[in-house]
Amino acid sequence: MARHFLTLLDLSPAELQQVIARAIELKAQHREGSAGEPFRNKVLGMIFEKSSTRTRVSFEAGMAQLGGHAMFLAPRDTQLGRGEPIEDSARVMSRMVDIIMVRTYEHEKIERFAQYSCVPVINALTDSFHPCQLLADMQTWIEQRGDIQGKKVAWIGDGNNMCQSYINAACQFDFNLSIACPAGFTPDAQLVADNAERVTVLEDPREAVANAQVVVTDVWASMGQEDEQQDRKSVFQPYQVTRELLDAAADDVIFMHCLPAHRGEEISEDLLDDPRSVIWEEAENRLHAQKALMEFLLQTS
């Protein structure tokens, strides 16, 4: 049976730690030029129904650097875009390639794809979750500060796919998560209730960041919500992450953002230049974390 990675819950806490430890090792090997070609003759299929810079570049470069090959598949150029059923596409593609990543809208679509795929399927972002980004974020924390167990993370802004993946991460990595969202933009209530032991939803960003060792945010309007962008600006304005907001967190706080960022919206113009921001390292870690993830899924499937 193929192992899939549709949310962080698909790997056990120990397996997630193992993948991140391997990502740190692969990062060092990448620097030394000693990683070898563990993906020789392996092919990754990449289905993108939404735009991407980091995800595409990191998966494609990662495959090539380890001796494999990645195939970019835009729906408009495949039969998927002309209505061929997901189930049929999954059955056919998975007979030809070794591993598949999918970026799409409804989370239910990737679940259906995975159900009919005989090779591992990786969630490269859905409307509900973005687990690959969390691997990179957790790697970044571990590199900067060590174990995240028992620490406090503050999520500021929209209760979106990234926020919901942080909720899963709080469970799998055992940290406390304070979420500050405007009313009406909170994460899925059932997901919050299932993780009530570690997750608190508030409205006040200053309350959420108090004593937080990590502050995280994301865009106010995600892909697919472009029509709401203007209306959201006024609702979300009090949720902008600024240097002053970071000052209200723990002294050793770090700031993360999955990117792309909108300066002057969810972050102040100067925030990415603040020494507490680790976003470039975080972005790079997508490359290493996904190499480790693909290696894990290929070995355990």
Which residues are annotated as catalytic? 103, 130, 133, 218, 258, 286
Q: By C-beta, is 74 or 118 nearer to ligand NVA?
A: 74
The verdict on 223 binding ligand NVA (CB under 6 A) reads yes
Considering only 114-122, 158-166, 245-253, 261-269, which stretch makes contact with ligand NVA by CB under 6 A?
Answer: 158-166
Considering only 73-81, 164-172, 217-225, 286-294, which stretch makes contact with ligand NVA by CB under 6 A?
Answer: 217-225
Q: CB 259 → ligand CP: shortest distance, Å?
A: 5
Q: By C-beta, is 55 or 277 nearer to ligand CP?
A: 55
The verdict on 258 binding ligand NVA (CB under 6 A) reads yes
The verdict on 55 binding ligand CP (CB under 6 A) reads yes
The residue type found at 265 is E
Q: By C-beta, is 152 or 291 nearer to ligand CP?
A: 291
CB closest to ligand CP, residue no: 55
Other C-beta atoms closer than 10 Å to the C-beta of 13 total: 14
Give per-residue burial for 127-146: e unless 16+ CB within 10 Å, then b.
bbbbbbbbbbbbbbbbbeee
Residue 184, CA distances (Å) to 106, 130, 266 in order: 20, 21, 17
Secondary-structure percent of the chain, ordered helix, strand, coil, rounded to 5? 45, 15, 40
Q: Are 59 and 101 in contact (CB under 8 A)?
A: yes
Q: How far apart are CA 65 and CA 51, in angstroms?
A: 23
Which of the choices ligand NVA, ligand CP, none does residue 99 contact, using the CB cut-off of 5 to 8 A by kind?
A: none
The verdict on 52 binding ligand CP (CB under 6 A) reads yes
The verdict on 222 binding ligand NVA (CB under 6 A) reads yes
The verdict on 258 binding ligand CP (CB under 6 A) reads yes
Among 73, 86, 162, 293, binds ligand NVA (CB under 6 A): 162
User: What phi-psi label fits residue 184: left (phi over 0), alpha (psi between -120 and 50 degrees) or beta?
Assistant: left
User: What phi-psi label fits residue 174: left (phi over 0), alpha (psi between -120 and 50 degrees) or beta?
Assistant: left
Which of the choices ligand NVA, ligand CP, none does residue 218 contact, using the CB cut-off of 5 to 8 A by kind?
A: ligand NVA
User: Residue 134: which H helix or E strand, with range?
Assistant: helix 131-145
Peptide bond into 38 cis (omega under 30): no
Considering only 49-57, 79-87, 163-171, 184-192, which stretch makes contact with ligand CP by CB under 6 A?
Answer: 49-57
Q: CB 223 → ligand NVA: shortest distance, Å?
A: 4
Q: CB 185 → ligand NVA: shortest distance, Å?
A: 12
Among 42, 54, 232, 288, binds ligand CP (CB under 6 A): 54
The verdict on 165 binding ligand NVA (CB under 6 A) reads no
SS3 of residue 294 by DSSP: helix
The verdict on 219 binding ligand NVA (CB under 6 A) reads yes
User: Residue 26: which H helix or E strand, with range?
Assistant: helix 13-32
The verdict on 133 binding ligand CP (CB under 6 A) reads yes
Q: Please give the DSSP secondary-structure letter assigned to residue 277.
A: B
Q: How far apart are CA 236 and CA 224, in angstroms?
A: 18
SS3 of residue 111 by DSSP: helix
DSSP lists the bridge partners of residue 200 as: 178
Under the rule (CB under 6 A), what is the footprint of ligand CP?
Answer: 52-55, 125, 133, 258-259
Q: Contact positions toward ligand NVA, by CB under 6 A?
A: 125, 160-162, 218-219, 222-223, 258
